[in-house]
Copies of this chain bind each other. A is one copy, B any other.
């Protein structure tokens, strides 16, 4: 097993990164089932993946397969977790504690993968000052101070569309370099800040596409 040191992040397709996330979940399952090694073929069959795709995705990062054996499940999982930055804990700040923000705060998957929501901001006077599971909900003016005190790294924007750019500007000013945006609006960020938009309607559109095509 050899991890390449010289791959360029800009050359790696986003879909490959998303699939790495899926592979780690599959490997986790195999580990729980007590399976020590697996070929790309078996891995693909078991989880309904494409084995050529698996090999191609992994090849961006190194040589993980061993001839005649396949992949070592735990070893490969550990490497992928490292590549994905999931071998550490990330301090996440959530802005907006409406229904969506509250749902995201209670979403079990985040903490399980090491994303710890350790600060919450909301300017709604009915919310600011409250405490959610031990985390105080603070007004946005405290963001800069908290970002430093808690070394916040990733911001989640869960405010209405019209408030999203202002919130984003504050996150950027506080030194946050990665933002996950749920507001249905195009945000502007400086070049050194990673922005990922989650557009829930697009997910539904992949379904309406399939249904519409089926009806042709």
Contact = CB atoms under 8 A, between A and B. Distances in A.
Interface in A94-147: 98-100, 102-104, 106-110, 112-115
Interface stretch (A36-44, A67-75, A166-174, A204-212): A204-212
Interface residues of A, number: 58
B104 A102 contact: no
21 contacts: A9-B210, A17-B205, A17-B206, A20-B209, A21-B199, A82-B212, A83-B213, A84-B209, A85-B205, A86-B205, A86-B208, A99-B100, A108-B184, A109-B200, A110-B201, A178-B207, A178-B211, A180-B207, A194-B210, A196-B207, A198-B200
A209 B85 contact: yes
Q: What is the count of identical protomers in the complex?
A: 2
Contact of A21 (B84, B154, B205): B205
Interface in A1-31: 9, 14-15, 17-18, 20-22
